[in-house]
């Protein structure tokens, strides 16, 4: 078997060489599909000039940027407690889990409350049926029944009255005694009262229930509904939920544990946005304004930077250092397995708070990140007859304070130098370039606040 040997494809001055296994190269040469000649030997020199957009590095008067060390802090931290006491039957999260607003963290035992809720719902059904009965009024059958009873009572009353008249006639002829007359009068009077009672019953059946009765039944239904709502709320409080989107950073209980009211269950932090807390000396504090731009770098994420803004200036100094806490708000970014910025990371923030002086600034789009240090490409003129032709020259710089769409740089760069602001993603040292446009200021921003300046512009592999 032929040994695997790597042969450099070319030795041009690009950043990373590409290698082709010797077996593949021999096969390509034998098959005639690989040509080693003038075009291959030229390598990148045969590439056409890269079209670029440039801007001019300018010398400006501004407050020199000063760098302060700080710590990444979550925007919100909540130690979620239990609103009730009970036994934990489910603990649904682990440290490091991402949670959403309202997502259950733990559940407590609710068996007795479930039984009470079922009984309360059955009682509500009963009271609703009673209310419906009153609202529907008397049924036709009930009215017919009341009318029949009234008519029967009237018939008895008429019969009793006829018996009374006959007894009175016999009494006048001394055929019936006084006692018989009194007995018959009592029967007639009772029959009349029975008829009057049955007549009123018919009228009530026709009119139906009183309005007050309906309202009382309706109030009883409302009371029972509120009772159910209270029980449901009690049951809901036995499920402890996340107060906002974030990550679980601590567990304070476990399945089977009895927790008291107010006991901590878990700690949740929000990192969609974060604050970088830095301590600013009192001499610099007058130059710090709310909303001022700040450039933030994190040691754990080399080659990545964020544009933030001052969100808070705490008006209470540390008495030992005479420095004031300043919080810089950043929009975090997803790194696939979580957000890039984590609470507690060491950070450096650059603010334009130094003495006013002359500084060299370039558009933020000129910066290229991802290497050992920030860099940009300057355009070195190539031909006096063609001022738009040139070569790309890499320049390593140190960055300072950001001023709008511009950023302070320090390094071997002179005012008036043309720097590439568009098309620099694919450049490499000494690459021929063709200036297609010059801009007086920075190119239109394509990044939002919180994104790294020129974050999309990485050094070419």
pLDDT tens digits, residue range 123-172? Answer: 999 999 999 988 888 888 888 898 899 999 999 999 999 998 888 888 88
CA distances from 87 to 100, 257, 259 (A): 24, 6, 6
Instruction: Identify whether the C-beta of residue 419 lies closer than 8 Å to the C-beta of residue 375.
Output: no
Q: Which of 1, 4, 32 is nearest to 19 (CA)?
A: 4
Strand-pair category, 98-99 with 86-91: unpaired
Predicted confidence at residue 69, as pLDDT, reads 93
Neighbours of 85 (CB within 10 A): 13
CATH topology match: 51-73+270-439 vs 78-108+239-269? no
Q: Which of 240, 236, 262 is nearest to 90 (CA)?
A: 240
Question: Strand ranges (DSSP E) for 282-422?
Answer: 293-298, 305-313, 323-331, 346-363, 375-383, 386-396, 398-403, 406-410, 418-422
Predicted confidence at residue 303, as pLDDT, reads 73
Instruction: Identify whether the C-beta of residue 411 lies closer than 8 Å to the C-beta of residue 395.
Output: yes
As given in the structure block, the two tokens for residue 185 are: 């009068």
Left (φ > 0), alpha (ψ -120 to 50) or beta: where does 221 sit? alpha
Predicted confidence at residue 22, as pLDDT, reads 38
* Mean pLDDT of the region 404-414: 84
Q: What value, to the nearest 5°, has the Cα angle with vertex 435 and ends 57 and 429?
A: 75
Compute the distance between CA of residue 151 and CA of residue 144 in angstroms, rounded to an integer: 10
Q: Give just the sign of the alpha carbon dihedral 4, 7, 13, 18.
A: negative
Compute the distance between CA of residue 201 and CA of residue 141 in angstroms, rounded to an integer: 14
Instruction: Identify whether the C-beta of residue 368 lies closer than 8 Å to the C-beta of residue 420.
Output: no
Please report, for the chain, the start and end positions of each structural domain, with discontinuous segments joined by +. Answer: 6-46, 51-73+270-439, 78-108+239-269, 119-232
Instruction: Identify whether the C-beta of residue 134 lies closer than 8 Å to the C-beta of residue 166.
Output: no
Q: What value, to the nearest 5°, has the Cα angle with vertex 455 and ends 450 and 458?
A: 165
Strand-pair category, 104-108 with 239-241: antiparallel
Compute the distance between CA of residue 245 and CA of residue 149 in angstroms, rounded to an integer: 72
Residue 457 has pLDDT above 60, yes or no: no
pLDDT confidence tier of residue 46, bands split at 50, 70 and 90: low
Helix (H, G, I), strand (E, B) or coil at 352: strand
pTM for the full model?
0.58
Instruction: Identify whether the C-beta of residue 234 lies closer than 8 Å to the C-beta of residue 115.
Output: no
Convert the pLDDT of each residue in 217-267 to its tens digit: 999 999 999 999 999 999 999 999 999 999 999 999 999 999 999 999 999
CA distances from 25 to 8, 21, 36, 38, 204 (A): 11, 7, 10, 17, 110
Q: Which of 373, 385, 447 is nearest to 411 (CA)?
A: 373
Architecture label for domain 78-108+239-269 = Beta Barrel (2.40)
As given in the structure block, the two tokens for residue 35 are: 């040509």
Q: Which one is the CATH code of 51-73+270-439: 3.40.50.300, 3.40.50.1100, 3.50.50.60, 2.40.30.170?
A: 2.40.30.170
Residue 43 has pLDDT above 60, yes or no: no
Greater confidence (13 vs 330) lies with 330
pLDDT confidence tier of residue 47, bands split at 50, 70 and 90: confident
């Amino acid at each position: 078997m032929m040994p695997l040997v790597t042969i450099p494809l070319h030795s041009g001055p690009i950043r990373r060489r590409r290698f082709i296994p010797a077996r593949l190269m021999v096969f390509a040469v034998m098959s005639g599909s690989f040509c080693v000649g003038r075009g291959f030997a030229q390598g990148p020199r045969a590439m056409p000039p890269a079209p670029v957009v440039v801007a001019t590095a300018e010398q400006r008067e501004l407050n020199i940027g000063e760098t302060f060390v700080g710590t990444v802090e979550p925007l919100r931290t909540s130690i979620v407690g239990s609103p009730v006491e009970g036994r934990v039957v489910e603990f649904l999260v682990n440290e490091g889990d991402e949670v959403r607003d309202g997502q259950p963290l733990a559940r407590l035992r609710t068996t007795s409350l479930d039984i009470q809720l079922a009984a309360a719902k059955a009682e509500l059904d009963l009271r609703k049926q009673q209310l419906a009965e009153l609202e529907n009024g008397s049924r036709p059958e009930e009215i017919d029944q009341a009318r029949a009873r009234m008519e029967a009572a009237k018939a008895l009353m008429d019969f009793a009255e006829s018996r009374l008249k006959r007894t009175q006639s016999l009494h006048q002829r001394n055929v019936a005694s006084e006692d018989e007359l009194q007995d018959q009068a009592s029967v007639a009077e009772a029959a009349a009262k029975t008829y009057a009672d049955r007549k009123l019953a018919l009228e009530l059946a026709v009119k139906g229930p009183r309005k007050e009765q309906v309202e009382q039944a309706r109030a009883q239904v409302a009371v029972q509904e509120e009772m159910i709502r209270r029980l449901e709320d009690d049951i809901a409080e036995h499920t402890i939920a996340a107060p906002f989107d974030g990550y679980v950073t601590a567990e304070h209980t476990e399945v089977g544990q009895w927790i008291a009211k107010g006991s901590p269950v878990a700690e949740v932090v929000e990192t969609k946005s974060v604050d970088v807390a830095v301590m600013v000396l009192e001499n610099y504090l007058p130059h710090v304004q709310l909303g001022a731009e700040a450039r933030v770098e994190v040691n754990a994420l080399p080659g990545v930077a964020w544009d933030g803004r001052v969100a808070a200036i705490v008006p209470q100094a540390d008495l030992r250092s005479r420095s004031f806490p300043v919080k810089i708000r950043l929009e975090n970014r997803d790194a696939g397995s979580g957000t890039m910025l984590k609470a507690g990371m060491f950070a450096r923030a650059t603010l334009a708070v130094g003495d006013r002086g002359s500084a060299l600034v370039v558009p933020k789009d000129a910066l290229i990140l991802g290497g050992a240090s920030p860099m940009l490409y300057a355009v070195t003129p190539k031909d006096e007859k063609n001022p738009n032709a040139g070569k790309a020259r890499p320049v390593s710089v140190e960055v300072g304070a950001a001023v709008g769409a511009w950023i302070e740089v320090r390094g071997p760069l002179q005012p008036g130098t043309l720097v590439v602001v568009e098309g620099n993603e694919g450049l490499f040292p000494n690459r021929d370039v063709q200036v297609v446009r010059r801009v007086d200021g920075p190119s239109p921003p394509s990044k939002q606040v919180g994104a790294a300046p020129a974050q999309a512009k990485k050094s070419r592999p």
